[in-house]
């Protein structure tokens, strides 16, 4: 099953208030504000799981990204989307709900998405959704820091933007 370009998203204003609904293809083509979540999964050893985006993705195919990430569908909320994305992309159902860390305002680096960033404690193993994820692995925080500095082109712009803000939670 491929990506549904007709999936409905809430279109939001500069204060993240819903002002309408449009299909994914329209929202992305017109660069309208919408909503997303990014989840960073950390295991007991302190390593963070990152995934390489499927080559079938409409945006940023084949680059590395957060543990799980996804759009908030029309009528959904951020917290419910976070739980759904963990289950869909990683097959992960953690004992505790994802922990909200911070919210990013819609901007160029996020593709005009308002983004809530979450931290999740989980060990895996994960069942990766092939339509969304090519592969994934656990990385030490310092390893992620070096990799981002050395090869930023290998990462989705949203992860490049949010990592410095999330980094203090992953020591």
Q: In total, how many domains does the chain have?
A: 1
Residue 66 lies in a domain: yes
C-alpha pair distances (Å), 122 with each of 41, 132, 163: 6, 20, 19
Find, among 108, 119, 133, 114, the residue nearest to 40 by Cα.
119
Q: Report d(CA 80, CA 141) in Å as an integer.
A: 27
In a domain, 83, yes or no: yes
Q: What is the pLDDT of residues 117-169, one digit of tens each?
A: 999 999 989 999 999 999 999 999 999 999 999 999 999 999 999 999 999 99
Domain membership flag for residue 52: yes
The residue ranges of DSSP E strands in the chain, in sequence order, are 8-12, 18-23, 34-42, 48-53, 64-65, 68-71, 99-104, 113-121, 133-139
CA 16, CA 51: separation in Å to the nearest integer?
28
The answer to whether residue 21 scores a pLDDT higher than 90 is: yes
CA atoms within 13 A on the CB side of 63: 18
CATH number at residue 52: 3.90.79.10
Residue 133 inside a domain? The answer is yes
- Whether residue 51 contacts residue 89, with contact meaning beta carbons closer than 8 Å, is answered with yes
Q: Give residue-wise pLDDT tens across range 56-89.
A: 887 899 999 999 999 999 999 999 999 999 999 9
Q: Is residue 3 part of a domain?
A: no
Task: Please report whether residue 1 resides in a domain.
Answer: no
- pTM (2 decimals)? 0.94
Is residue 159 in a domain? yes
CB 124 within 8 A of CB 51: no
Could you tell me the residue range of the domain that residue 17 belongs to? 8-169
Q: Tell whether 151 is covered by a domain.
A: yes
Radius of gyration of the chain (CA): 15
Question: Stretch 53-58: mean pLDDT, rounded?
Answer: 88
């Amino acid at each position: 099953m491929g990506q549904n370009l007709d999936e409905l998203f809430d279109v939001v204003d500069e204060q993240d208030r819903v002002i309408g609904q449009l299909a994914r293809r329209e929202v992305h083509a017109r660069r309208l504000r919408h909503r997303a979540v990014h989840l960073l999964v950390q295991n007991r050893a302190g390593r963070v799981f990152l995934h390489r985006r499927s080559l079938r993705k409409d945006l940023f195919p084949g680059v590395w990204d957060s543990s799980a990430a996804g759009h908030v569908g029309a009528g959904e909320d951020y917290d419910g989307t976070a739980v759904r994305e963990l289950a869909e992309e990683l097959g992960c159902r953690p004992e505790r709900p994802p922990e909200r860390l911070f919210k990013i305002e819609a901007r160029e680096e996020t593709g005009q998405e308002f983004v809530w960033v979450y931290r999740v404690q989980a060990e895996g193993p994960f069942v990766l959704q092939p339509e969304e994820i090519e592969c994934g692995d656990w990385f030490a925080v310092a390893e992620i820091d070096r990799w981002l500095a050395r090869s930023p082109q290998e990462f989705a712009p949203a992860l490049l933007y949010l990592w410095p803000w999330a980094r203090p939670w992953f020591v």
